[in-house]
Amino acid sequence: MKGLISVGPLRILEKSSRRGLGPGNLGALIARAGVGKSACLIHFALDKIFRQERLVHVSLKEHPEKVTSYYDVIYHDLIKALNIKDDSEYRTLIDKNRMILAYLNHSFDLRRLQANLKNLTEQLQFRPDALIVDGLDFEEAERELFEGLKTIAQESSLEIWLSALSHRHITETNERGIPHPCNKLDDLLSIILQLKPETSGLFLSLLKDHDGLGNPDISVKLDPNTFLALD
């Protein structure tokens, strides 16, 4: 699906120094509650899937059925935006390349994730290229967890995207200007994006770009309903 990047929020990564996150790296998408972190990450996921890469969507709050219905809605909007008539090929790609792992009621830990990824590889021959981890509580999680995720990313040569919940009342940033809740973890995160509703629209901006700081002025305006790029 060549046109996906041109219409999706991924356009921001085209503006990053390495044109993407890359294997072995962690990336985070910061936004306040209800702004659209999950939707944006699903756009990232669909991009991977349509590039014939294998993706594991890890949901820490929602049941798989709900995650699937999120995908369905976003996929439908995408197909419509790209004016695709016969989408059977894309549907097959989703069936083939996506796996949803949910960890409900605080069931998530690294050991379990590693065991599950091992099962996927050994039992299903499903070796993921990317992981989306949605719903991880950055405030509660210990630094070791992020270090562990980084190790998994490096050892398995996959990229991991995380959603990070920010709060209006917590305005602290670190010396490099990285806001809460990624301010103490930015050494582990290769790319940090921020999704922010402004009066003029919803903007996705690049706060950290691998070894350097991102240019917050580089942003993509998104449709607040479909999260497709507007400009």
Footprint on this chain of another protein (rule: CB under 8 A): 63-64, 67-68, 95-96, 99-105, 107-108, 112, 115-116, 118-120, 122-126
Residue type at 57 in one-letter notation: H
Measured from the CB atom, the residue of 80 and 91 that comes closer to another protein is 91
Measured from the CB atom, the residue of 102 and 152 that comes closer to another protein is 102
Please tell me the distance from the alpha carbon of residue 28 to that of residue 221, in angstroms, as a whole number: 18
Measured from the CB atom, the residue of 84 and 115 that comes closer to another protein is 115
Q: Are 199 and 192 in contact (CB under 8 A)?
A: no
Q: Are 106 and 61 in contact (CB under 8 A)?
A: no
In whole angstroms, how far apart are CA 165 and each of 4, 129, 223, 226?
A: 26, 24, 20, 20
Work out how close the CB of 178 gets to another protein at its nearest, in angstroms, rounded to a whole number. 31
Please tell me the distance from the alpha carbon of residue 30 to that of residue 32, in angstroms, as a whole number: 7
Please tell me the distance from the alpha carbon of residue 203 to that of residue 91, in angstroms, as a whole number: 29
Work out how close the CB of 231 gets to another protein at its nearest, in angstroms, rounded to a whole number. 35
Measured from the CB atom, the residue of 105 and 200 that comes closer to another protein is 105
Measured from the CB atom, the residue of 16 and 38 that comes closer to another protein is 38
Work out how close the CB of 65 gets to another protein at its nearest, in angstroms, rounded to a whole number. 8
Q: Which residues of 166-182 are buried (b: 16+ CB within 10 A; e: fewer)?
A: beeeeeeeeeeebbbbb
Work out how close the CB of 209 gets to another protein at its nearest, in angstroms, rounded to a whole number. 33
Work out how close the CB of 177 gets to another protein at its nearest, in angstroms, rounded to a whole number. 37
